[in-house]
Amino acid sequence: MERETGWIDTHAHLADEAFSDRLEDVLLRAMAEGVTRILCVGVDTVASASSVLFANQYDGVRVPSVWASVGIHPNYAHQEKPGDWESIVAWTNHSHDGGSRVCALGETGLDRYWDDCPFEVQEKNFARHWELSRSTGLPVIIHSRDCDTEMLEALRKEYKNGELRGVMHSFSSTLEVALECVAMGLYISFSGMLTYKKNEVLREVAAKIPEDRLLVETDCPYLSPEPKRSTRPNEPSLMVHTGEVLGKVRGWTVAETAERTTANALRLFSKMR
């Protein structure tokens, strides 16, 4: 297999209004920094529809190729309207006919930080993404905030049905949590938080994840990495800074870091080409 050196931003909210007047420029800058693919992540049906649209529009000729993830975020699960879930399922069905660029589900998961959505609603929403993952083979992009215990319980329950395909996105928890997730089949993705001065502990975690399970992401428009932390909005071109820090903690060159995280992303999001 041919080796690839470009970066993949595995988590970008390109449908966010922060990008509405500048998406082309953002994509061109990403290309200039060596980002070859971007996974555009949905949080509800509106953002998921935009992700599918962008993925079909930006196929990697002048700009990075955009790929879509569709799903419902735990903080929006209570706002669901009739037919919304059916739309999510329909986009994933479409991915079987070769025409669609939907390569993941989510982001979804559990969140105890914001209390907008009742927790039982979040749990049901999370569980049906796993059911859809098993029927479609698509990996799940997992959001987990302030709920390690509940998240591990939910994942262990799903793991009874077989190895999990997915990623703990913008990871910010402990090594113990990370390694249990890895043991259940999951990947661990690091965002700009990895670069923050105070996050020495997170860098120690990143140093100890099996190398074939590491991913990088921006989670833009949020979490701008150092030394661009004051830049708003964050964007895919800035992911290189997170990649450099990951390389440093692993003892890898920048090129090796790009090559390894890209190979990992293509293995997990296997519909990406």
- Binding-site residue total for Zn ion (CB under 5 A)? 1
Of 28-36, 116-124, 187-195, 213-221, which segment contacts Zn ion by CB under 5 A?
Answer: 213-221
Q: Which two tokens stand for residue 7?
A: 């970066």
Cα distance between residue 9 and residue 35, in whole Å: 7
* Segment near Zn ion (CB under 5 A); pick from 80-88, 150-158, 215-223, 239-247: 215-223
The minimum distance between CB 195 and Zn ion, in angstroms, equals 17
Q: Given the DSSP bridges, would you call strands 102-111 and 214-216 parallel, antiparallel or unpaired?
A: unpaired
Q: Candidates 22-30, 154-162, 185-193, 211-219 — which segment interacts with Zn ion by CB under 5 A?
A: 211-219
CB of 256 to Zn ion, least distance (A): 27
Residue closer to Zn ion (CB basis): 13 or 250: 13
Strands (E), 151-207: 166-168, 187-190
Tokens at 232, concatenated? 């708003």
Instruction: Map residues 216-245 to x or -, x wherever contact with Zn ion holds by CB under 5 A.
Output: ---x--------------------------
In angstroms, rounded to a whole number, what is the distance separating the alpha carbons of residues 164 and 141?
11
CA distances from 156 to 106, 151, 174, 185, 255 (A): 19, 9, 17, 11, 36
Residue 142 or 252 having the CB closest to Zn ion? 142
Are the C-beta atoms of residues 103 and 269 closer than 8 Å to each other?
yes
Q: Which residues bind Zn ion (CB under 5 A)?
A: 219
